[in-house]
Chains A and B, each alone.
Chain A
Amino acid sequence: MTAVAEVPAAAESSRPVAVRRRKRVRPARVVLHVFLTVTALVWLVPLVWAVYTSLRTFADTSQHGYFSLATALTFENYENAWEQAGLPHYFLNSVIITVPAVLLTLLFSASVAFFVSRFNFKVNLFLLMLFTAGNLLPPQVIITPLFRMYLLIPLPDWLSNGSGLMYNSFFGVIMIHVAFQSGFCTFVLSNYMKTIPHELTEAALVDGASVFRQFWQIILPLCRPAFAALATLLTIWIYNDFFWGLVLFQTGADRPITSAISSLQGQYFSNQNLIAAGALLTAIPTLAIYLALQRQFVSGLTLGANKG
């Protein structure tokens, strides 16, 4: 690794190796740090600008313009966005959708992954291809018939939050999330389960453990790291969903926060300060999850990417 790191310096100066070994600040390194720092700061500009806008009062910005030094910084816009637009209600909708969707996706994907990775059935490869390909389809390809299907499928009231249909129900949105996301998760989990030694389940099999016990008591506990990574990733993905929440609910009131925010813009968020505050409030949960569980999130992404 260090040898690679020294390549730029080696290319520029023709000094002997012994000199390069010493810890010195190399010009190429400085250039690299300057470049990365500038990039990182440029990448932060939109967020910082939104935060800055959201912390200023409307009176201040309408008098001095947005591109000016703030006379005062307050959380007023956040309070207003939170209360006027009734954000807690939409956050609750998001929780009602996201939590069951993540848990069900993990359970279903783990079941299928167990099947395809621990047994040698002929259908395994086809199943994996089906799930993986399905996960890659753009959602818009299926929305027209899906929307019609959801309008035709009746649901009991307790499942449909009163609408009597798959359409307009939390259940319907949860199901499409599970159906879509289980493609990616099955792929990742089956690769993960393949790395678990067969001797473990073999021993259980000899002891007479049922298939379900092998799954539940041996394989699942061993997949904990993969579950943690995928759960983090899925929570952010599903919470961030805009499309299903927009199309599969008729009215804004039932929508999760990410989808609801576009209709709230016209109704409640009348100025830039409020829009910025509302947008950032919506982003806070995912930002918090990412900053707290960065390792899990990144490894979730890379679990899928590494096993090509």
Chain B
Amino acid sequence: MTVITDAAENVAGAGVPGSGRVRRLTGRDKIVLGLMVGIPTLLHVVLVWVPTLVSVLLSFTRWDGIGGLATIKFIGVQNYSTMFTVSPTFWPAVQHNVIWLVFFVLLPTPFGVFLAYQLDKSIRFTRFYQTAIFLPVVISAAVTGFIWQTIYDPDNGLVNSILGTNKPGGTYIEWLGNSHLNLWAVLVAASWKQAAYIMILYLAGLKGADPSLREAAALDGASEWQTFMRVTFPALKPINIIILVVTIIESLRAFDLVYVVAGTNGTKPGLELLSILIANNILGESSLVGYGSALAVVLLVISLAPILSYVFQTFRKEQQS
């Protein structure tokens, strides 16, 4: 262990005399290592981080994307002021993203944790339960949208058929058309996936936890609820953070399912989300590059909070060691 560490340090701080037990990396080794780390990093930076930064720059400009790069005009914060004050879709989108997040935090995520906790007990048929509940996670969000359309369809869908609200002369419930209902209908469909995803992640965390803690709590006469709240949950801090980050990120990324159920042009009143507005700026006919970038910057700023806290939390230990 130490030998290699020494050798590596020699490479890092070139010229520092080494222990001499292990020879340094040869010139060819250095080139190979450079390529091994350089090519993937370059690809990642060019395709992920450069566009992120360019997004910030473009958000202060106006460009219709048709003319060349020379037609990009700097306009200061005009895109942002349009977005905050004039745009009819921006605030609804923010509101829907917030509802999405709060809904996820309150319902499917705790339910997934609850399921995991129950499935972690050594019970029979656990494989069947896990497989059945987990199936939605491997189905793409787009296909999930189609499957739920067959459930929400006003004429032929399962829900209206059961409720009897699809009879001729009756009052149709337009689950996906009514702008007061459709977000909630979509959230139910999204929770179908989310709860299952959280369940499997949390189950992994529970499997890795020390069972003796729970046994000790049980011997001390703690109830199941007390054991979970006071012993299991606090002991699983790393996985709790992952669950929280996954929940926030999934709420901000929500796109496919909404785009599919919103129909041909991807927008429906009641279903605006930041991700949808950004995509429509590209897929739609009017391409406002600057404005689309300003929307992206808002999404970026919101996303950075969970991303950075996760990254620092994860790598703090290593930094200390």
A-side residues, CB < 8 A to B, are: 1-8, 10-11, 29, 32-33, 35-37, 39-41, 43-47, 49-50, 53, 61, 65-67, 108-109, 111-112, 114-116, 118-122, 125, 127-134, 136-149, 175-176, 178-180, 182-183, 186, 198, 201-202, 205-206, 210-212, 215, 236, 239-243, 246-247, 258-259, 261-262, 265-266, 272, 275-276, 278-280, 282-283, 286-287, 289-291, 294, 297-298, 301-302, 305-306, 308
Asked whether B136 lies within 8 Å of A43 as measured between CB atoms, the reply is yes
- Output the nearest chain A residue to B277 by Cβ-Cβ distance: A140
Which residues of B lie under 8 Å from residue A215 when comparing CB positions? Answer: 36
Q: How many A-B residue pairs have CB under 8 A?
A: 346
Distance from B125 Cβ to chain A, minimum over Cβ atoms (Å): 7
Q: How many residues of B contact A (CB 8 A)?
A: 124
With A46-B192, A302-B201 in contact, is A39–B208 under 8 Å at CB? Answer: no
B24-60: CB near A (< 8 Å → 1, else 0) gives 0110110011001101110111111111101100100
Distance from A5 Cβ to chain B, minimum over Cβ atoms (Å): 5
Asked whether A286 lies within 8 Å of B242 as measured between CB atoms, the reply is no
Which residues of A lie under 8 Å from residue B125 when comparing CB positions? Answer: 33, 36-37
* Bound form: Cα–Cα A36–B129 in Å: 7
Which residues of B lie under 8 Å from residue A261 when comparing CB positions? Answer: 142-143, 146
Asked whether A132 lies within 8 Å of B314 as measured between CB atoms, the reply is yes
With A144-B278, A198-B4 in contact, is A130–B146 under 8 Å at CB? Answer: no
Q: Which of A10, A35, A302 contacts B118 (CB 8 A)?
A: A35
Q: Which of B51, B200, B218, B293 contacts A3 (CB 8 A)?
A: B218
B89 within 8 A of A: no
* Bound form: Cα–Cα A278–B45 in Å: 37
Q: Which of A1, A127, A211, A283 contacts B25 (CB 8 A)?
A: A211
Asked whether B281 lies within 8 Å of A144 as measured between CB atoms, the reply is yes
Asked whether A4 lies within 8 Å of B281 as measured between CB atoms, the reply is no
Which residues of B lie under 8 Å from residue A283 when comparing CB positions? Answer: 138-140, 143
Distance from B25 Cβ to chain A, minimum over Cβ atoms (Å): 6
Asked whether A134 lies within 8 Å of B44 as measured between CB atoms, the reply is yes
- Output the nearest chain A residue to B211 by Cβ-Cβ distance: A1
Asked whether B318 lies within 8 Å of A125 as measured between CB atoms, the reply is yes
